[in-house]
Structure 1
């Protein structure tokens, strides 16, 4: 690789439309598999734990290690692409992701699986933001709107399909194939990208003057933050000394990172871009959509597994409607995107997401795929109308020179929203379940005539099975506890969906503050200017 700066800016007009579309589609394949793997294990953690003889707490790290590694590398992708070029960084990410996937499938114990999943997230994470920057370099005008729509669809559809694909693969084969399915698309991306994606040149001179202290501070800040968010609900937050320590370390490292990034001339992450209203609001909307995307993907399978007792495949089939309705909404969005102000389309998407959360709130313990159809359909359409315009309005007006670092920060906010959203939902579920259970228990006493009749009926049923009176009473009380706990859990899920609804109502109200953007010329400046 040459270390010379490019002689002239990338000229998208020099490429035929068919070549640009094929190159962009190849990049999207890489982004899709990297995003899919965030959630592909979520419905199969029990199978993975059983296969590797691991407990529940250890198995949870199969997902946590991937998220921590990915969230660290995403904001670094802008600087890395300037050093190695988009072409070679994407190729290296695809190769590393593919090899790590192979290692995950061959893991021999839970410790090796956690290490390989961290490698998979770290090596493949750069593919996600690089697709955003490449799309804005390749396309302009109406083509850019379609490209942004495609990216937005993938960004929200891939995590949604994760539990579906994972549950289906685990059911028909084994959990090993959750990772082996990445091999063919990974090799395809690694081969094709160097041949077609030549939008910038590497500049290895940037390695010498890089702000490595900021990189270290950012890694410590994000890594400890993700650990705190993932493990906090499980260990009762700050009552655990480890969680308290990682929270303090994350906070101090974060303050140091922000201070240094605002002082140095060439920061690793361009936080100064947040001074621009559209970019700051866009990052906030990315954060909120991250809450909606990842938290609902977390809540729905959890409800179906814990309350309804669904298998991994049944869970996948029950949540599949979200993806179907999002796909169906793509042509509708594409039709309106070139005719209607994108801000109003984004308001429709965010508002529809709030409505879908409201439709989740009448949840009862017997809800399944049929009852979940309408709220999931609304959520699928909402995702398509909320994410793509956010991408275009936030990144579409930025000069190519700023796109790389801005895209990393924009994508980081979505993943942070997901991490914080899941942690908050887990805490709400725990606290509200205890509250609802205690409230239900207050009414389950000897003065409750309906309860007395139910206890007598259930006790007689156990007596008919040959159990003594005391045994029948004990069994009846156990069954009563299970029923009360099930109802308390169900009510807590409904409460959590309402909290997410409030977040989207706030976001919807803020959309008019964004400016209508006019995209700059496709090649107005060198993508590597700095």
Structure 2
């Protein structure tokens, strides 16, 4: 009698580019958390005057609302790679999101500047753990075929969040009060922390790493990066090493750097693994990320300063003007995703760098009358070019690394962008101050009492004041002429900075062709395996 053989129905194999819905939702949760952390770098920048008045702070104290956040965050970003391996992405991201939320609430309760500085430092340190985790997750859990969707998303958040920060901050402080700059994080932060704990399952903790934790390496890194960030933030405004605090921090940074690099190469489990830099593409990608930081944070700083000093814009008007760049980034994100699948990434980066240079070149023709529409096209070029650069840079830097190096490498990659921003702001501030003094001295030579042209101009202005007002016409005319000289000197110093940025990004467009073309199908950390 024949025996019937029962065979189980074949289970269709999942396509190679399948993405688990649970992981997609978890990743989107992480992206939103990163958006909150990066947004908070700049959200207070347009409202520092309101915070200063509310806390009765001095002009010297209020910049620390920004500086304390940046110093703490720049220490946490590279540290997050080790913590993620030790605790797992799930635990680290949940703690970071919950801690960031709690620190935001504390910032809203601050009654003096000392409390605000401490709470902002806590907020920056804990929140900094969310940023690199997103980049590492993107290249770990998603297959290469999905990169055209994932990389533009994180690139958009990383570049658009600091750009629209002043806009959102200006609206919130005008509509409510400065307290809501921080309270707005509470409900979303609770939701992000809860979703992260429930959904993230990318990896497992390795608690054995705690016994190998390199405390000396952490101390060295804290002194190195914290001191460096302080020097770069405060140096331009305090004549660099002539200021005692800047000098002390420079010494701390140099000493910390020696200790940090010594431990990085000798410790059994270094706090930051620098081996990722042996990958040529990662090394070049980090260099380009550094330069992107200069352009991203530099122009986010330059445009508001110009609109405030020269045009007299308030925070709301500045926010509205800067929103153009954010819209351009949003519109360019899907385009850059499509191009990343069809175009050599080096060509994309070249187009992006040249587009950025074209925008800054247009700004070298600026006058004191330039308004919203005159800076409209340069802002569009800036926003679109940033997205065209960011996507291929992320793919080149992280797309070919093995899974075990992705977490540390992601922290280093994000650190280079933040350090680029800090170095860029320091250089921009220094150039603005020095060139302003230079141009003022040169212009003053042409308005001396012996200048016939200056005398004619002064007489015409005096007659105008005599005609339309009853004040001391001669004094008013002299005051107005001095104001014109100061304004023109400031304007010319802005133009000098835009010239330097144009040369920098145009040079990078040529430098791009020196790197090797990455393979067509980068593994990207295992493609989710």
Q: Distance in 1 between matches of 2:412 and 2:233?
A: 21
Deviates more, 1:341-350 or 1:423-432: 341-350
Is 1:466 equivalent to 2:474 in the alignment? no
TM-score using structure 1 length? 0.93
Q: Distance in 1 between matches of 2:475 and 2:321?
A: 36
- Aligned CA distance change for structure 1 residues 213 and 441 (closer, same or farther; 3 Å): same
Cα pair 2:400 2:525 within 8 Å, conserved: no
Deviates more, 1:284-293 or 1:356-365: 356-365
Deviates more, 1:336-345 or 1:33-42: 336-345
The aligned counterpart of 1:83 is 86
Deviates more, 1:510-519 or 1:312-321: 510-519
Cα pair 1:170 1:312 within 8 Å, conserved: no
Cα pair 1:286 1:410 within 8 Å, conserved: yes
Q: Distance in 1 between matches of 2:224 and 2:407?
A: 21
Aligned ranges 1:224-373 → 2 under 5 Å? 224-373=227-376
The aligned counterpart of 1:101 is 104
Task: Show CA shifts across 1:444-498 (max 9, x none).
Answer: 123433422321232234445334xxx4323222211111101110111111122
| Pairwise CA distance, 1:331 | 2.1
Look up the SS of the partner of 1:58 in the other structure: coil
Task: Show CA shifts across 1:30-70 (max 9, x none).
Answer: 00010000001111111110111112211100000000000
Aligned ranges 1:77-226 → 2 under 5 Å? 77-226=80-229
Q: Distance in 2 between matches of 1:217 and 1:38?
A: 24
Cα pair 1:319 1:369 within 8 Å, conserved: no
Q: Distance in 2 between matches of 1:52 and 1:483?
A: 35
The aligned counterpart of 1:29 is 32
| Pairwise CA distance, 1:264 | 2.6
How many residue pairs get matched?
513
- Aligned CA distance change for structure 1 residues 14 and 452 (closer, same or farther; 3 Å): closer
Cα pair 1:12 1:138 within 8 Å, conserved: no
The aligned counterpart of 1:427 is 430
Q: Distance in 2 between matches of 1:86 and 1:350?
A: 34
Q: Distance in 1 between matches of 2:259 and 2:87?
A: 27
The aligned counterpart of 1:503 is 504
| Pairwise CA distance, 1:309 | 0.9
- Residue from 52, 57, 60 that aligns with 1:57: 60
| Pairwise CA distance, 1:196 | 1.3
| Structure 1 moving runs of 4+ over 6 Å | 11-15
Aligned ranges 1:405-416 → 2 under 5 Å? 405-416=408-419
- Residue from 445, 448, 466 that aligns with 2:448: 445
| Pairwise CA distance, 1:247 | 1.0
Q: Which has the larger radius of gyration?
A: 2
What RMSD over aligned residues (CA atoms) do the two structures have, in Å? 1.8
| Pairwise CA distance, 1:83 | 1.2
| Pairwise CA distance, 1:523 | 4.0
Cα pair 2:354 2:505 within 8 Å, conserved: yes
Q: Distance in 1 between matches of 2:149 and 2:261?
A: 35
Q: Gapped runs of 5+ residues in structure 2?
A: 1-13
Look up the SS of the partner of 2:56 in the other structure: coil
Is 1:68 equivalent to 2:71 in the alignment? yes
TM-score using structure 2 length? 0.94
Q: Distance in 2 between matches of 1:525 and 1:136?
A: 8
